[in-house]
Amino acid sequence: MIAQVLNRDFVLSQLDVVQHELQISPDQRRTGHQDLPFQATETDMAIAADELRLAKEKEAAVSSGQQGYWDTEARRGEEPAPLDDFVFLSRDPVISILQSALQEYFETKGADLVETQAPPDDTRRSVDDRPAITDASLRDCAPTRRVEDGRRIFDQYSVTDPRWVASLFAEGIRLFRGRHDFNPKPADPLQIADNARLILVGDWGSGLPRARAVADQMRKEIEAALQKKTEVHVIHLGDVYYSGWKTEYYRNFLKDWPVRVEESETIKSWSLNGNHDMYSGGHAYFDFLLADSRFRRQQKSSFFSLYNNHWDIIGLDTAWENADLANEQAGWLEKQFLKSPRKSMLLSHHQLFSVRARFAKGTNEARQVPYAA
């Protein structure tokens, strides 16, 4: 992930550029460009323009990024830096798709603009000297100052090819609006050893240095279990950023997944569906990730069950229908409970309860549906 694409103000500045490109006349758009990643129709462009306009209106009211601050201490004599300056992972699918398109542009067409080093505005380090957030940034693209409303200003920095980015953004919107079919058949239940080791991680698919460090620690746990001849299962609880595109699954997930391809028969991998995975309609989740040899035991299903003499471990898809159980999962889950004398462990991307949910006094009814980032 590139530092500027993780900066809300930079993303909003690029939103304006892409919005202008989506709104130009068809005659202007037809001239002078043969190297587009997606040959968007006028309908595609019009729909993308509408989606971006609505997302911009919502973003103007409140940030779709994570709440809170990166650091509670003052930095360089200033107020704490908002999290949106460094880790803007939008919960709005349209903004996330724009971030995916920007990242893809800089990874491919604009690779010469990217340098790998710590972002210039972030000198904080941990004891192991890893970058606090990301080690990739755009050359000569540092924010210059803040203005009265708190936004950071980037000096006239625009994507080099807004038509290319707009085209890819339009494709992303088309995928988001045309979800992949839900697979109603769960993976075949799998009996596991009573002493099996389960290694779980969630919201991991970013490809950031800290995510790679987590993968290193997971690998140590895998190898420790293998040395004891203990059965191992590694489970991802969902979310590959920004929007679950095929290239993002490769760069941010499979490339650093701690189970090696040649171990796919001996170490089982599983992955739940997350809301960011569905921002591209779930197409790459079902057809690319679950087709990888390490995840084939899941049979291209987004829900599954493992069991031994003591436990039922049940993975659910709460993202195809956001924060809900799609298709017949609820009935399937009820049957699991009714027929099994074992204790149950439920795995899902969305949590049952959230600190953001507000409960009516004296009741257990939430006024706000919990959601995941």
Neighbour-count burial of 102, counting CB atoms closer than 10 A to its CB (0-12 exposed, 13-18 middle, 19+ buried): buried
Beta strands in the chain (DSSP E): 114-116, 136-138, 145-146, 152-153, 190-191, 197-201, 232-236, 268-271, 304-307, 311-315, 343-347
Give Cβ neighbours of residue 172 (< 8 Å, ≥ 6 apart). 97, 98, 100, 101, 243, 245, 279, 280
Q: Is-contact 4 137, C-beta < 8 A? A: yes
Cα gap 53→167, rounded to integer Å: 16
Q: Is-contact 341 324, C-beta < 8 A? A: no
Cα gap 364→86, rounded to integer Å: 36
Would you kindly state where each structural domain of the chain is located, as residue ranges? 3-177, 190-347
Q: What is the model's pLDDT at position 154? A: 73
- Digit-coded pLDDT (tens) for 80-122: 457 888 899 999 999 999 999 999 999 998 888 899 875 445 4
Q: Which two tokens stand for residue 214?
A: 């987590």
Q: Which two tokens stand for residue 152?
A: 């950071």
Q: What is the model's pLDDT at position 208? A: 95
Measure Cα distances from 343 to 206, 253, 336 in Å: 33, 31, 11
Q: What dihedral do alpha carbons 329, 334, 340, 344 form, nearest 10°?
A: 70
Q: What is the model's pLDDT at position 22? A: 93
- Digit-coded pLDDT (tens) for 119-170: 445 444 444 555 678 989 998 887 766 665 666 677 656 778 899 999 999 9
Which residue type sits at 162?
P
Contacts of range 221-230, beta carbons closer than 8 Å, 24 or more positions apart: 221/197, 222/258, 222/259, 222/267, 225/197, 226/267, 230/193, 230/195, 230/196, 230/197
Which residues of the chain fall below pLDDT 70? 27-34, 67-81, 118-131, 144-152, 155-157, 354-373
Cα gap 302→38, rounded to integer Å: 28
Q: What is the model's pLDDT at position 77? A: 42
Q: Is-contact 190 306, C-beta < 8 A? A: yes
Q: Is-contact 308 194, C-beta < 8 A? A: yes
φ/ψ of residue 177, rounded to 5: -80, -15
Q: What is the model's pLDDT at position 258? A: 98
Q: Is the pTM of this model over 0.85?
A: yes
- The pairing of strands 114-116 and 136-138 is antiparallel
Neighbour-count burial of 340, counting CB atoms closer than 10 A to its CB (0-12 exposed, 13-18 middle, 19+ buried): middle
Q: What is the model's pLDDT at position 130? A: 58
Q: Which two tokens stand for residue 168?
A: 């890819």
Q: Is-contact 136 129, C-beta < 8 A? A: no
CATH of 190-347, one of 3.40.50.11540, 3.40.50.720, 3.60.21.10, 3.40.50.970: 3.60.21.10
